[in-house]
């Protein structure tokens, strides 16, 4: 029987600024797990995209699709999933942004490649979807101070946030847990982190929701 107290492969997902990378590192440290961390800043089209979405959308999206797939496929090849793994993204996130940013003809071309690549990747044992209201996301993005995010419009952040929620409500490839993070801090507050550990130590069946009373 699978040991649900320590799922072998956990993926953390959620909109820009919600805290995916920070939670990934903390969970990996707790479980003694390998990490798969996305390196967003390596996309050479991203700065241009935030200044002119229409001009740079397709280039930025294709770069992300190929680089994300390469990283996840390499993890498969070296059998990392025989160990414990925590990832701060899934390939599915790429399609969320593609739906927002690409026109219909670009998306048709993109989606053909996406479907092929997705079919070759392992599925997480558990997806943790971090959610927050748009105001909280804007504040967290400003706090971390990434130069290429400086020109990001609040309207775009809200659009991404709404798209992620639509995606979560349709995700059925495995167990998934939505966690409302607007009033909690898993990284700085140990009590908040313990609450999450207690929740994921029990089997998550289908799509579940977790709205803890936070410390903030």
- Catalytic residue numbers, as ranges: 88
Q: What is the spatial distance between Cα 52 and Cα 61, in angstroms, rounded to a whole number?
A: 13
CA 96 – CA 164 distance, rounded (Å): 7
d(CA 101, CA 64): 13
Contact between 110 and 33 under an 8 Å Cβ cutoff? The reply is no
Is residue 127 within 8 Å of 90, Cβ to Cβ?
yes
Closest CA to 32 of 50, 48, 10, 58: 10
Closest C-alpha among 165, 57, 158 to residue 103:
57
Torsion of CA 193, 191, 130, 133, to 10 degrees: -160
The secondary structure of 70-106 as a DSSP string is HHHHHHHHTTGGGS-EEES--THHHHHHHHHHS-HHH
Per-residue CA distances from 195 to 11, 147, 150, 214 (Å): 18, 33, 33, 10
């Amino acid at each position: 029987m699978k040991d649900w107290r320590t799922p072998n492969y956990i993926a953390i997902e959620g909109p820009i600024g919600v805290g995916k990378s920070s939670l990934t590192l903390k969970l990996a440290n707790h479980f003694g797990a390998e990490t798969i961390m996305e390196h967003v800043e390596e996309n050479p089209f991203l700065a241009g995209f935030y200044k002119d979405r229409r001009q740079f959308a397709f280039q930025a999206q294709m770069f992300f699709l190929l680089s994300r797939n390469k990283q996840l496929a390499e993890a498969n090849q070296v059998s990392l999933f025989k160990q414990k793994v925590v990832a701060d993204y899934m390939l599915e996130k790429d399609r969320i942004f593609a739906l927002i940013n690409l026109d219909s003809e670009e998306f048709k071309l993109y989606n053909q490649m996406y479907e092929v690549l997705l079919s070759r990747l392992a599925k997480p044992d558990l997806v943790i979807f971090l959610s927050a209201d748009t105001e909280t996301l804007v504040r967290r993005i400003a706090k971390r101070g990434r130069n290429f995010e400086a020109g990001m419009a609040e309207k775009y952040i809200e659009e991404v946030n709404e798209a992620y929620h639509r995606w979560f409500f349709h995700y059925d490839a495995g167990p998934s847990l939505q966690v409302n993070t607007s009033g909690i801090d898993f990284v700085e507050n140990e009590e908040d982190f313990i609450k999450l550990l207690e929740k994921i130590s029990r089997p998550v069946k289908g799509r579940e929701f977790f709205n803890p009373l936070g410390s903030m």
